[in-house]
Structure 1
Amino acid sequence: MVALKFREEFEKNYNTYLPKSSLAALQKKSIEANVIYDRINHKAGDIVLFTGSYSTGEHNPTSDVDILILSNESEHERRITELNHPSIFGDSFDIRYKETDLNIEYIKLPDVFKLLSIVNTATNLYQPDLPNLQGLELRLAVRIYNGIPLLGEKDYISIKKNINIASFTSSATALSLVMAISYFEDSLYLSEIDSRLILSNAAFCLVMSYVNSSGNITYSVKNLRGRAISLFQNNKNYYMLNNVDSLLFVSDVSLPVGQKLVIDMIIRLIELLQKSEYHDLTLKMLAPYLQKIPNLLNTHRA
Structure 2
Amino acid sequence: MLAESRQTLPPEGVLPGSLHYEQKPDGFRAIVFARADLVRVQSRQGSDLTPAFPDIAQAAALVGEDLVLDAELVVPHEGRLHFGELQRRARHRGPSAIRAAAERPAYLIVFDVLEAAGTELIARPYRERRARLEDLFASGVLSAPFTLCPATTDRATALDWLDPAWGAAGIEGVVVKGAEQAYHMGKRAWVKVRARTTAEAVICAVTGAATSPSSLLLGRSDASGRLRLIARTTPLPTAARRDLGTRVRPAGPDHPWRGRRFSAGWGSRGELEFDPVHPEIVVEFLADTAVDDGRYRHSVRFLRVREDLTADQLPLLGA
The structure carrying a bigger helix percent of its residues is 1
Of structures 1 and 2, the one with the larger relative CO (CA 8 A, separation 6+) is 2
| TM-score relative to the length of structure 2 | 0.34
| TM-score relative to the length of structure 1 | 0.36
